[in-house]
Chain A
Amino acid sequence: GENVEQHPSTLSVQEGDSAVIKCTYSDSASNYFPWYKQELGKGPQLIIDIRSNVGEKKDQRIAVTLNKTAKHFSLHITETQPEDSAVYFCAATFSGGTSYGKLTFGQGTILTVHP
């Protein structure tokens, strides 16, 4: 089955700095890679996703890059703000099957943005 490793486990930055979170996956069949943000007491919220036919995707201050050959994908947050503080999870799945929503998650990164 799929295995997703996520690093770092904690990340502390100053407001305005950039933050980068990296994930690797093991199953070359995986082709859909969402990122979720989870705040205390809430469920994960999708913030951006990328499919394997695209190398990079950007949405305002958030971008995701994918290297299929190396099986790496990364989340980049620019101009961080205190409200970006949360736990971030990467995930992977194969979107061509019936269990497209069966995601394998990384272990999470606790991001703290200091004002």
Chain B
Amino acid sequence: DTGVSQDPRHKITKRGQNVTFRCDPISEHNRLYWYRQTLGQGPEFLTYFQNEAQLEKSRLLSDRFSAERPKGSFSTLEIQRTEQGDSAMYLCASHRTGNNSPLHFGNGTRLTVT
């Protein structure tokens, strides 16, 4: 169990650019979640996958955001035409199917849009 891995750890981009983040969940964890955390707040749910299927998207996830998990293993989160309001920590989490499996978080990707 190597933990949930996220890359990059930090990303600085200019407004209007596209960015993509990657998450590698704990192996054999079939459920993968994306959360967003702004300074001084708790994480907020964005979307989640069971295997390769995206099962739910939050209203926070605007049309500029897209997430994929093509082979049911790693996932990517892309933000197009970034805005300053997109600056936040993007957290990935995973767990195994079954209600006794706790949610494990990665260390996040901190995005700064200038």
* Chain A interface residues (CB < 8 Å from chain B): 4, 6, 32, 34, 36, 41-46, 49, 89, 91, 95-96, 98-108
Q: How many residues belonging to B are interface residues under a CB distance threshold of 8 Å? A: 24
A91 to B91 Cα, complex, angstroms: 15
Known A-B contacts A43-B107, A107-B42, A108-B42; the reply to A95 vs B48 at CB < 8 A is no
Set of chain B residues within 8 Å of A89, measured between Cβ atoms: 42-43
* Chain B interface residues (CB < 8 Å from chain A): 4, 31, 33, 40-45, 48, 50, 55-56, 91, 93, 95, 99, 102-108
Determine if B95 and A101 form an interchain contact, defined as CB atoms under 8 angstroms apart: yes
Q: Taking CB as reference atom, which chain B residue is nearest A98?
A: B55
Q: Within the complex, which residue of B4, B41, B43, B55 is in contact with A99, where a contact is CB–CB below 8 Å?
A: B55
Set of chain B residues within 8 Å of A98, measured between Cβ atoms: 50, 55
Determine if A100 and B107 form an interchain contact, defined as CB atoms under 8 angstroms apart: no
Determine if B41 and A95 form an interchain contact, defined as CB atoms under 8 angstroms apart: no
Determine if B102 and A34 form an interchain contact, defined as CB atoms under 8 angstroms apart: yes
Measured CB to CB, the closest approach of chain A to B2, in angstroms, equals 14
Set of chain A residues within 8 Å of B56, measured between Cβ atoms: 99, 102
